[in-house]
Amino acid sequence: MSFATHIITPYEYVAYATHLKRLSKDDRYCRFRTFTSDETIEAYVKKIQNNPNEIVIAHYGDDCGIDGSLQLSIIENTIQEVRKKIAELSMSVLPESRGKWIADTLIEHAILHARTLQVEQLVTTCNPSNKTMLHIAKRIGMEIDGDFEEKNAELLLQKPGIETISLDIFRQQLWTIDYVNKKTANAVSEIWKTFYTNV
- What residues contact 113, with CB distance under 8 A and at least 6 apart? 7, 55, 57, 72, 168
Measured at the alpha carbon of residue 164, what is the angle toward residues 159 and 166, in degrees to the nearest 5? Answer: 150
Confidence (pLDDT) at 188: 65
Confidence (pLDDT) at 80: 55
> Closest Cα partner for 76 from 120, 137, 126?
120
The span from the CA of 188 to the CA of 1, in Å, is 18
pTM comes to 0.84
Q: Show pLDDT as tens, one digit a residue, over the chain (199 residues).
A: 566 888 999 999 999 999 999 999 999 988 998 889 999 999 999 999 989 999 999 999 888 889 999 999 998 776 655 568 999 999 999 999 988 889 999 999 999 999 999 999 999 998 888 888 888 899 989 999 988 778 899 999 988 888 887 877 777 777 677 766 766 766 666 666 666 666 5
The tally of CA atoms less than 13 A away on the side-chain side of residue 14 is 1
* Domain spanning 5-198: CATH superfamily: Gcn5-related N-acetyltransferase (GNAT) (3.40.630.30)
Residue 9 pairs in a beta bridge with none
* Integer angstrom CA distances of residue 7 from 22, 69, 125, 129: 20, 10, 22, 28
CB 126 within 8 A of CB 147: no
Confidence (pLDDT) at 78: 62
